[in-house]
């Protein structure tokens, strides 16, 4: 059930300039649901990373000369191949990352939707003609690919976080060197294999698996790389921004979050429960847009806690490959221990445990879905990104006060609230200091919308008509003597 080594899309070596390259070292990849070794993957050396960057530079010169339609057709073929192989890709994803197979199927379709979207956007990277400042002069603006892109992606969406970056980059004519998370390399390598079948030329899309610090430092410091795009924690993001400073790279950063979900007194409580279940427990709470703090109006607190607890008790925990599983393990034991520490500290600081609060009897990296109540804004848990299946519930009584509390964080990625009062919906939407606000829904992401944060949640936007901006530079052409 968990063997993926025989699958045709299984590859375990870095992919550089259209070739699977041997490595002096390998590292084991672990299935978090069983702690068993799935296989080992080659670790690219820094020298191999340099070669990948050089090859990407060579490939860039010809790729950028291709027509938008040509790049569009290749991306469209890639999309078709991914959807044709959806089940195989989902199986690889579940086995290396742990999320339920149905969720993995959803992630493959979600990731592919960005490739489809940017295959369409490739043809719409328009420039401008600016009204002239002198009679014999004209000003044009064209958008051009920024150059070789370095991409560093996390393990929580081993497929989609890659697709969201590579698709716009390739669409506008950039080439890419990708470093996926070492705990989930197989999804990335499978994508590269399908990219080759779709006709992506050698060197345009390279994948280097291996040591994050060394390969990341090379991507950030190498002057050939003109842009770095990263999804991951805020602390690593800050390190990468510093490393990119010496070569003044364009950067986009999709970093951590501390999403509030506010349930106002006029909300449909059943609906709010259903949506917060999704935004809290999806991916076992391991997404940057997961609800991190739940604020419930004091007049509906008891009703909410009771209905929410019932829903949480119904979650089916298990190996993601087992039918009906709704919540898999955390990515590894360390992640499970980190989550447990957050819960223990909150209880020490006065929180009451309503449900869960310990590692799950399934063992390995599984953690019980947990609910905490009686929380105060000055507790550590209000400031931390939990990244696990833990739901802290705060109560509030005043609209402006809850907005202040929701904004009381260094992060600013996703936020959610529930209300049926149109005036309040406008007021609160405008006052939340977040890149994304979702009203009456626990899901806000699709390829059609600009995904990204403010404050220490990052810069740049992925998806939507804005999504190509991160991979282009603006050139002004001044024409005189007319």
Binding footprint of ligand ADP on the chain (CB under 6 A): 152-154, 156, 181-182, 212-213, 216, 232-233, 236, 239-240
Q: What is the closest distance, in whole angstroms, from the C-beta atom of residue 97 to ligand ADP in the complex? A: 12
H-state helical runs in 325-436: 333-348, 399-407, 422-431
Catalytic residue among 121, 196, 254, 399: 254
Q: Which of 166, 171, 177, 241 lies closest to 203 in space, CA to CA?
A: 177
Residues 6 or more apart whose CB falls under 8 angstroms from that of 203 comprise 17, 18, 55, 56, 58, 59, 175
Q: What is the closest distance, in whole angstroms, from the C-beta atom of residue 436 to ligand ADP in the complex? A: 19
The alpha carbons of the chain give a radius of gyration, in whole angstroms, of 23
Q: Closer CB to ligand ADP, residue 283 or residue 327?
A: 283
> From edge to edge, which strands make up the β-sheet containing 15-16?
19-20, 15-16, 205-207, 175-179, 148-152, 225-231, 250-254, 458-459
Intra-chain end-to-end CA distance of the chain, in Å:
71
Give the number of other Cβ atoms within 10 Å of residue 348's Cβ: 10
Q: Closer CB to ligand ADP, residue 145 or residue 232?
A: 232
Query: What gap in Å lies between CA 304 and CA 147, rounded to an integer?
Result: 51
Q: Closer CB to ligand ADP, residue 184 or residue 326?
A: 184
Exposed e or buried b for every residue in 237-273, given b needs 16+ CB within 10 A?
bebbbebbeeeebbbbbbbbbbbbbbbbbebebeebb
Q: What is the closest distance, in whole angstroms, from the C-beta atom of residue 270 to ligand ADP in the complex? A: 33
- CB-based closest residue to ligand ADP: 216
User: Do residues 420 and 266 lie in contact, with contact meaning Cβ atoms separated by under 8 Å?
Assistant: yes
CA distances from 431 to 238, 401, 452 (A): 26, 12, 17
Q: Please return the burial class of 350, using the count of CB atoms within 10 Å of its CB with bins 0-12, 13-18 and 19+.
A: exposed
Q: Closer CB to ligand ADP, residue 149 or residue 375?
A: 149
Q: Closer CB to ligand ADP, residue 276 or residue 330?
A: 330
Q: What is the closest distance, in whole angstroms, from the C-beta atom of residue 45 to ligand ADP in the complex? A: 15
DSSP for residue 28: E
Q: What is the closest distance, in whole angstroms, from the C-beta atom of residue 135 to ligand ADP in the complex? A: 53
Distance of CA 152 to the CA centre of its chain: 11
The verdict on whether 107 is a catalytic residue reads no
Sign of the C-alpha dihedral computed for residues 177, 181, 186 and 190 taken in this order: negative
DSSP string, 284-349: GG-STTSEEEEEEEGGGHHHHHHHHHHHHHTPPBS-TTSTT--B---SSHHHHHHHHHHHHHHHHT
Q: Closer CB to ligand ADP, residue 209 or residue 327?
A: 209
Torsions phi, psi for 407 (to 5 deg): -85, -5
Q: Closer CB to ligand ADP, residue 153 or residue 419?
A: 153
Catalytic residue among 23, 244, 288, 373: 288
CA distances from 395 to 302, 312, 329, 388, 468 (A): 10, 19, 30, 21, 41
The verdict on whether 220 is a catalytic residue reads no
Q: Closer CB to ligand ADP, residue 237 or residue 356?
A: 237
Q: What is the closest distance, in whole angstroms, from the C-beta atom of residue 20 to ligand ADP in the complex? A: 20
DSSP for residue 367: B
Q: What is the closest distance, in whole angstroms, from the C-beta atom of residue 279 to ligand ADP in the complex? A: 18
Sign of the C-alpha dihedral computed for residues 205, 19, 211 and 81 taken in this order: positive
Encoded tokens for 19:
């070739």
Q: Closer CB to ligand ADP, residue 192 or residue 375?
A: 192
Q: What is the closest distance, in whole angstroms, from the C-beta atom of residue 402 to ligand ADP in the complex? A: 28
Q: What is the closest distance, in whole angstroms, from the C-beta atom of residue 344 to ligand ADP in the complex? A: 20
Q: Closer CB to ligand ADP, residue 225 or residue 240?
A: 240
Give the number of other Cβ atoms within 10 Å of residue 401's Cβ: 12
Q: What is the closest distance, in whole angstroms, from the C-beta atom of residue 104 to ligand ADP in the complex? A: 18
For the annotated catalytic residues, the residue numbers are 254, 288
């Amino acid at each position: 059930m968990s063997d993926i080594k025989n699958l045709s899309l299984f590859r375990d070596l870095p992919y550089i300039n259209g070739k699977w390259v041997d490595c002096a070292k390998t590292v084991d990849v672990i299935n978090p649901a069983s702690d068993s070794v799935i296989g080992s993957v080659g670790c690219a050396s820094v020298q191999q990373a340099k070669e990948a960057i050089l090859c990407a530079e060579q490939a860039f010169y010809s790729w950028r000369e291709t027509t938008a339609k040509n790049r569009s057709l290749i991306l469209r073929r890639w999309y078709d191949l991914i959807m044709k192989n959806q089940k195989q890709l989902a199986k690889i994803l579940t086995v290396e990352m742990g999320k339920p197979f149905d969720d993995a199927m959803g992630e493959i379709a979600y990731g592919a939707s960005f490739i489809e979207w940017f295959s369409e956007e490739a043809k719409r990277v328009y420039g401008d003609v600016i009204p002239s400042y002198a009679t014999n002069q004209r000003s044009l603006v064209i958008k051009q690919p920024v150059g070789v892109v370095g991409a560093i992606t996390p393990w929580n969406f081993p497929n989609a976080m890659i697709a969201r970056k590579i698709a716009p980059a390739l669409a506008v004519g950039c080439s890419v060197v990708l470093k996926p998370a070492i705990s989930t390399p197989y999804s990335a390598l499978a994508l590269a294999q399908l990219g080759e079948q779709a006709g992506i030329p050698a060197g345009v899309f390279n994948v280097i698996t291996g040591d994050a610090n060394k390969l990341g430092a090379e991507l950030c410091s190498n002057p050939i790389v003109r842009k770095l795009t990263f999804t991951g924690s805020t602390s690593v993001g800050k390190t990468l921004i510093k490393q990119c400073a010496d070569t003044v790279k364009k950067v986009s950063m999709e970093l951590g979050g501390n999403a509030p979900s506010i349930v106002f007194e006029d909300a449909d409580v059943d609906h709010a429960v259903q949506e917060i279940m999704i935004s809290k427990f999806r991916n076992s709470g391991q997404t940057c847009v997961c609800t991190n703090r739940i604020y419930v109006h004091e007049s509906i607190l008891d009703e909410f806690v009771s209905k929410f607890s019932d829903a949480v008790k119904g979650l089916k925990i298990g190996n993601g490959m087992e039918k009906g599983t709704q919540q898999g393990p955390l990515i590894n034991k360390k992640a499970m221990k980190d989550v447990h520490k957050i819960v223990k500290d909150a209880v020490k600081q006065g929180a009451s445990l309503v449900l869960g609060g310990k590692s799950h009897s399934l063992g390995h990296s599984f953690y019980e879905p947990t609910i905490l109540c009686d929380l105060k804004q000055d507790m550590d848990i209000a400031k931390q990104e939990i990244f696990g299946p833990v739901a802290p519930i705060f109560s509030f009584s005043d609209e402006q006060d809850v907005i202040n509390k929701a904004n009381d964080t260094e992060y600013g990625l996703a936020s959610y609230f529930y209300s049926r009062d149109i005036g309040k919906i406008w007021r609160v939407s405008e006052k939340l200091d977040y890149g994304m606000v979702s009203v009456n829904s626990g899901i806000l992401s699709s390829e059609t919308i600009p995904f990204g944060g403010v404050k220490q949640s990052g810069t740049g936007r992925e998806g939507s008509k804005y999504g190509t901006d991160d991979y282009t530079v603006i050139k002004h052409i001044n024409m005189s003597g007319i």
